[in-house]
Structure 1
Amino acid sequence: MSTFAIGETDFLLDDKPFQVISGALHYFRVHPDLWEDRIHKARLMGLNTIETYVAWNFHAPSPGAFDTTGRRDLGRFLDLVAAEGMQAIVRPGPYICAEWDDGGLPAWLLTTPGVGVRRSEPIYLTAVAAFYGKVLPIVAERQIGRGGPVIAVQVENEYGAYGDDEDYLRELVRMIRAEGIDVPLLTCDQANDEMLARGGLPELHRTATFGSRSTERLATLRRHQPTGPLMCGEFWNGWFDSWGQHHHTAPVELNVDDLDDLLASGASVNLYMFHGGTNFGFSNGANDKGVYVPIVTSYDYDAPLSESGDPTAKYMAMRDVIGRYAPVPDEVPPPRAQAPTLAVRLDHALAWCQARPLLGTTSSHDHLPTTGEIGQWSGFTSYRTQITADDDAVALEVRDRAVALLDGQPVGTLSRSEHGGTLALPHRAGTLELIVENQGGVSYGSRLGETKGLLAPARTATRVLDAWNVTALRLEDLPEDFTERLRATTPESTCDENRPVAGPSFRLGTFDTTAGADHFLRLDGWTKGLVWVNGFLLGRYWSAGPTKTLYVPGPLLRSNGNELIILELHGAAAATANFVAAPDLGHTEQ
């Protein structure tokens, strides 16, 4: 069996110096039928290692659940890495950041009374131990000493930016080792003296994260890692996008110059990201540094391999640089083929008031509950209460956004991003409904694990609203009776294809296309909502941009009878959606 160790100056693979040239590829952001393709293209760029986080909440979406099948089959992913002749680095957190919902921590744990996040607290550590007990045996049996690809495991993630509890880190190390992990353990922190000091332990090998000024950053790391190989644990070759902002890009020429400096020094590297992928469903995270800013569905990251798995100019340029220091295969990935183009008429419609009863069970409350109280850990929740003609307005705190209806008719929107918490009401009695959207759990900083939903009190001009009917909406996997009801609706006449769509409502259309081909869905004229293709929730769209298209992985599509379902929360110019030839991730600052 092979060995991997940390020497005085180098990583050692079978006792020989080994420069880790790795790329981040998150299995949970890629359709599993495409894992093999993405891993192969990593090797063709010259990488010898694949790094992945493990998102705890992806495997454990509710208390007592733990799923490692299908999209969650970490073992299969690592086996594919091995089959490609590559090594693997696994980063199981428990916290991962990654611009992922709640930084990978389960919302059901974060709402547990008394829990202490990312520190030595018994409730939290007991839950972490249970998580490790499920996931680490999968990693352990695939370590390099047992014939597998795993050469290292990371402890926590950029902990120096959050805390300084050494007892906590040591307890994580103890639990990791107890699950049979015997490969080297790493930490990673930003290339900052304070963070590197706080985030590591003398007995762990430190790596640093940065995206520029490689020589300077490595010198900073060396002050905290006096012996052994230097490694950039995350070489930021791009950046993520947030709703309402521009599409981020990193200049190719700067990326390759910094990568060249890094590799020339003999340091190891992990490109973050090699391939970003997609925040499918409700998996995107958010940032909050005074203003709450949720992250878009695309996680393209301006990575060398695009969201749809296509080699970019950055891919080819980085490949050339890597070729100066390590073997690069002769094979080059082919350029992307043009995606099928077609228009889809969504002529089946179901109004929100007809759909809601089919999407979840309603509970009654004599107070305003949070979503955590009703076990709704992500997505959308319906809150309903009765108002009188004298109420005039309602004031409350919403996390994160709510569409307000009075007797089914839209009357406004509340948004924490706009610091809006007051809604003017018509002077009439009726049923007030707030369709509340959890736009993503904060993934970095002090607001990690914050409460979601509507926060009490909810006050009108005359009283406190304390009688509520709440429905935890099942949208990740649409119930079959709902889908059948939507299919059964009478198709609208196509004589006026420019007829606007009034929301909130669901629309459905069918289409034929090229089976297995990647598609790009463009929703010009639509405002905000969700998209499903053949029952799979692609994620959110929003006219706020920057993203203009949604990536539809080819394995989701068949030749005939594909179904496109859209939940439009506000309105659309027409009930038509278009598949276009290429992605459009929006405007940049350049």
Structure 2
Amino acid sequence: MPTFEIGERDFLLDGRPFQVISGALHYFRVHPDQWADRIRSARLLGLNTIETYVAWNFHAPEPDEFDLTGRRDLGRFLDLVAAEGLHAIVRPGPYICAEWDGGGLPAWLFPSALRQAQDGAGSGRRADDSAGGAAGVRRHDPAFLDAIGTYYARLLPLVAKRQVTTGGPVLMVQVENEYGAYPGVPDDERAAYLRELVRLTREQGIDVPLFTSDQADDEHLSRGGLPELHKTANFGSRSTERLAVLRRHQPTGPLMCMEFWDGWFDSWGQVHHVTTPDQAAGDLDDLLAAGASVNLYMVHGGTNLGLTNGANDKGTYLPITTSYDYDAPLSEHGAPTAKFHALRAVIAKHAPVPDEPPAEPGPAPEVDVVLDHRAALADVVPLLSGPVTASDAAPTLDDLRQWSGFALYSARVEADDEVLVVGEVRDRAIVALDGDPVGVLDRSAHLYSLPLPRRAGTLTLLVEDRGRVNYGPRIGEPKGLVGAVRTARRELTGWRAAPLRVEDAPALLAGALRPADGSPEAAAVAEAHGGDAVAAPVAGPSFHRGTFDTVAGADHFLRLDGWTRGLAWVNGELLGRYSSQGPTATLYVPGPLVRDTNELMLLELHGAAVPRARFVAAPDLGPTEE
């Protein structure tokens, strides 16, 4: 029977020393038809192992749902790793961070945890939304542990039957993730919680070594693990120094950097983060020369498709971009970069590397698209709306069981109300009065008030969750309108709110978008622009659709110059968010989504100079710090 063990100084594969040279590749950020290509390219870099997180909320959008098919087929992904002759490391959380929505924790966990805390059940702690999270989550709380037990029972059997001990690829499984960085949990409760996770993991047949990973910091390493679990560290520079820190906390056994940060993620409104190939190569060389094992984070970042991006909030809320290129050795579309070749040369000094490099892709097709069909959001709300909730106080998105995306709120205001003030908006709201624009409330800009026109009418707020916080004490906070909503005269009551199923807009709005020149109003606009209706600026919130012919199966890069902010779909698949705020200037369209004749749909929230878009030859991820 094959074995993988933690020896006195080395990992031991079938009793022989084995240096793990791994790379992080998240199956949930890559189209499944491209998994094999990315895994093969990782092998050509010189890796012998692939690591992946498992995002709980990706598989369990509701408590009674669990999906392991299609893009969620972790078993198939691990089988492809094995077919390429590589090993695997699985990190199932329950919390993963990963710049992923909510750090992978399902949003439906938190309302029940809050109610339990307020009712005195569970841990008996009262939830404090000012601190962000709900009592019980990432703690030794019966309700949370019961949910994890159900999650593990659904997920881990497919991992168990693919362990190295059964002839499969899986060498190790992680327990929790960077737990030493999570604040507010007493040490004795930390240990009890981690030990219960170990029990729940072993209960599902996992017999390979278990480990923890924490930042290479004395405080984090001292409180993030257990004496009986192997400790690994996360860092991206000063390898010799960081390995010495890890050795203080892991006196015996192999040293491993579980996240060697060879790049970094991007947030909307900031620059595109890069690290130099020479710097990454030098630090990797030091690490491998010391005999340590490594997991490149990331070997290939991929894309936050749909509405899956997370966010950080360390005083300012910053949602993560749709692109998760990460300045990794393999770019967002799988091309080898200068960093790939620099790291490959380093790995070749310490381990065998295949002679064959991955192919360099050519330029993508360039295509112009006219989005000549449109519909105002207000006109199609009945087609998108979920159940309407009526209440005196404005509900949160969580109250509406809207775990991501948009909701539409409305309430009556009077002529003397004068100003709108919300306790907090999470994360952005477009405000209108009887359909006329009033302004924007924005969490990132700390904008929580707006002057109102001096007239009575129906106030509407189109509220957008731009990504749940994935790190720190604000994990689990509710979304939507939080706290009282007031005017100069009173607290607003009589709210009506409904979730909007915008993710499914292409299917729900089939036939609802009309030609741009199909109305007297459009004809008047066209006449004002020389008879061309599709040369005129357009106002949002509105949907726009156009068709285009191109090379089926080819990767494409969508550029939306002149558009402001919104969502983009190709052939009904939600690519993600776009924003003129940058840094990202293009959206990646995986080749498997592309046919000979295609449909592009946009939800533009503000306005566009002209309803045209363009597919360009190469990605543009924006300006860098250099």
* TM bin (shorter chain): over 0.9
Q: Distance in 2 between matches of 1:286 and 1:82?
A: 33
**What pairs up with 1:507-518 in 2 under 5 angstroms?**
507-518=544-555
Q: What number of residue pairs does the alignment pair up?
A: 589
Q: Distance in 1 between matches of 2:565 and 2:330?
A: 28
Q: Distance in 2 between matches of 1:297 and 1:498?
A: 28
Give the % identical residues: 66
Aligned to 1:457: 484
Give the 3-state SS of the residue equivalent to 2:260 in structure 1. strand
Alignment check: 8 A CA contact 1:235 1:270 kept: yes
Name which of 165, 176, 181 aligns with 1:145.
Answer: 165
Q: CA deviation at 1:497?
A: 4.0
Q: Distance in 1 between matches of 2:515 and 2:532?
A: 20
Name which of 439, 445, 470 aligns with 1:443.
Answer: 470
Q: CA deviation at 1:365?
A: 2.0
Structure 1 runs (4+) deviating above 3 angstroms are 487-494
Name which of 433, 451, 458 aligns with 2:460.
Answer: 433
Aligned to 1:579: 615
Q: CA deviation at 1:481?
A: 3.9
**What pairs up with 1:422-571 in 2 under 5 angstroms?**
422-478=449-505, 480-486=507-513, 495-560=532-597, 562-571=598-607
1:8 aligns with 2:8: yes
Instruction: Indicate the larger mover: 481-490 or 355-364.
Output: 481-490
Aligned to 2:412: 386
Q: For residues 9-51 of structure 1, what are the alpha-carbon distances to aligned partners after superposition, in whole Å with 9 as ceiling and x for unaligned? A: 1111111111000000000000111001000000010000000
Q: Distance in 1 between matches of 2:150 and 2:3?
A: 28
Q: For residues 397-436 of structure 1, what are the alpha-carbon distances to aligned partners after superposition, in whole Å with 9 as ceiling and x for unaligned? A: 2111011111122210000111111111111122111110
Give the 3-state SS of the residue equivalent to 2:36 in structure 1. helix
**What pairs up with 1:173-188 in 2 under 5 angstroms?**
173-188=198-213
State the one-letter code of the partner of 2:393. H
Aligned to 1:290: 315
Give the 3-state SS of the residue equivalent to 2:510 in structure 1. helix
Residues 92 and 487 (structure 1), Cα distance of their counterparts in 2 relative to 1, 3 Å cut: farther
Q: For residues 435-467 of structure 1, what are the alpha-carbon distances to aligned partners after superposition, in whole Å with 9 as ceiling and x for unaligned? A: 101011111111111111001311111221111
1:368 aligns with 2:394: yes
Give the 3-state SS of the residue equivalent to 1:484 in structure 2. coil
1:358 aligns with 2:395: no
1:328 aligns with 2:353: yes
Q: Distance in 2 between matches of 1:188 and 1:43?
A: 24
Q: Distance in 1 between matches of 2:507 and 2:236?
A: 46
Alignment check: 8 A CA contact 1:388 1:428 kept: yes
Q: Distance in 2 between matches of 1:270 and 1:410?
A: 50
1:124 aligns with 2:124: no
Q: Distance in 2 between matches of 1:335 and 1:286?
A: 32
1:53 aligns with 2:90: no
Alignment check: 8 A CA contact 1:214 1:259 kept: yes
Alignment check: 8 A CA contact 1:487 1:508 kept: no
Q: CA deviation at 1:129?
A: 0.7
Aligned to 2:339: 314
Q: For residues 538-576 of structure 1, what are the alpha-carbon distances to aligned partners after superposition, in whole Å with 9 as ceiling and x for unaligned? A: 11011111000000000001012x111100000111100
Aligned to 2:215: 190
Give the 3-state SS of the residue equivalent to 1:314 in structure 2. helix
Q: Distance in 2 between matches of 1:46 and 1:579?
A: 34
State the one-letter code of the partner of 1:579. F
Q: Distance in 2 between matches of 1:173 and 1:489?
A: 59
Name which of 304, 316, 320 aligns with 1:279.
Answer: 304
Alignment check: 8 A CA contact 1:155 1:186 kept: yes
Alignment check: 8 A CA contact 2:516 2:533 kept: no
Give the 3-state SS of the residue equivalent to 1:262 in structure 2. helix
Give the 3-state SS of the residue equivalent to 1:565 in structure 2. strand
State the one-letter code of the partner of 1:449. G
Q: For residues 461-492 of structure 1, what are the alpha-carbon distances to aligned partners after superposition, in whole Å with 9 as ceiling and x for unaligned? A: 12211111111011222263412212677666
Q: Distance in 2 between matches of 1:392 and 1:357?
A: 30
Aligned to 1:268: 293
Aligned to 1:91: 91
Q: Distance in 1 between matches of 2:319 and 2:392?
A: 31
Residues 529 and 312 (structure 1), Cα distance of their counterparts in 2 relative to 1, 3 Å cut: same
Q: Distance in 1 between matches of 2:235 and 2:508?
A: 50
Q: For residues 364-418 of structure 1, what are the alpha-carbon distances to aligned partners after superposition, in whole Å with 9 as ceiling and x for unaligned? A: 2232111111100011111111111111111102111011111122210000111
Alignment check: 8 A CA contact 2:8 2:252 kept: yes
Alignment check: 8 A CA contact 1:359 1:479 kept: no
Q: Distance in 2 between matches of 1:58 and 1:488?
A: 36
Q: Under a length normalisation based on structure 1, what TM-score does the superposition of the two structures give?
A: 0.98
Q: Distance in 1 between matches of 2:206 and 2:516?
A: 55
Alignment check: 8 A CA contact 1:54 1:96 kept: yes
Q: Distance in 1 between matches of 2:450 and 2:590?
A: 40
Alignment check: 8 A CA contact 2:374 2:542 kept: yes
Q: Distance in 2 between matches of 1:427 and 1:575?
A: 34
Q: CA deviation at 1:363?
A: 2.6
State the one-letter code of the partner of 1:552. V
Q: Distance in 2 between matches of 1:298 and 1:551?
A: 8
Residues 42 and 466 (structure 1), Cα distance of their counterparts in 2 relative to 1, 3 Å cut: same
Q: CA deviation at 1:359?
A: 0.5
Q: For residues 190-220 of structure 1, what are the alpha-carbon distances to aligned partners after superposition, in whole Å with 9 as ceiling and x for unaligned? A: 1011110100111000000000000010011
Q: Distance in 2 between matches of 1:117 and 1:363?
A: 28
Q: CA deviation at 1:325?
A: 1.0
Q: Distance in 2 between matches of 1:200 and 1:483?
A: 52
Give the 3-state SS of the residue equivalent to 1:432 in structure 2. strand
Q: Distance in 2 between matches of 1:50 and 1:440?
A: 27
Residues 479 and 574 (structure 1), Cα distance of their counterparts in 2 relative to 1, 3 Å cut: closer
Q: Distance in 2 between matches of 1:407 and 1:31?
A: 42
State the one-letter code of the partner of 1:59. H
Q: Distance in 2 between matches of 1:172 and 1:252?
A: 38
Name which of 244, 247, 258 aligns with 1:219.
Answer: 244
| RMSD of aligned residue pairs (Cα, Å) | 1.2
Residues 235 and 481 (structure 1), Cα distance of their counterparts in 2 relative to 1, 3 Å cut: closer
**What pairs up with 1:35-50 in 2 under 5 angstroms?**
35-50=35-50
Residues 349 and 86 (structure 1), Cα distance of their counterparts in 2 relative to 1, 3 Å cut: same
Q: Distance in 2 between matches of 1:539 and 1:481?
A: 18
Alignment check: 8 A CA contact 1:378 1:438 kept: yes
Residues 28 and 487 (structure 1), Cα distance of their counterparts in 2 relative to 1, 3 Å cut: farther
Q: Distance in 2 between matches of 1:379 and 1:327?
A: 46
Residues 146 and 489 (structure 1), Cα distance of their counterparts in 2 relative to 1, 3 Å cut: farther
Aligned to 2:261: 236
Give the 3-state SS of the residue equivalent to 1:152 in structure 2. strand
Alignment check: 8 A CA contact 1:358 1:479 kept: no
Alignment check: 8 A CA contact 1:235 1:269 kept: yes
Q: Distance in 2 between matches of 1:552 and 1:409?
A: 35
Alignment check: 8 A CA contact 1:506 1:565 kept: yes
Give the 3-state SS of the residue equivalent to 2:200 in structure 1. helix
Aligned to 1:169: 194
Alignment check: 8 A CA contact 1:525 1:572 kept: yes
Instruction: Indicate the larger mover: 67-76 or 486-495.
Output: 486-495
Stretches of structure 2 lacking an aligned partner (at least 5 in a row)? 118-134
Q: CA deviation at 1:171?
A: 0.4
Stretches of structure 1 lacking an aligned partner (at least 5 in a row)? none
Q: Distance in 1 between matches of 2:458 and 2:359?
A: 57
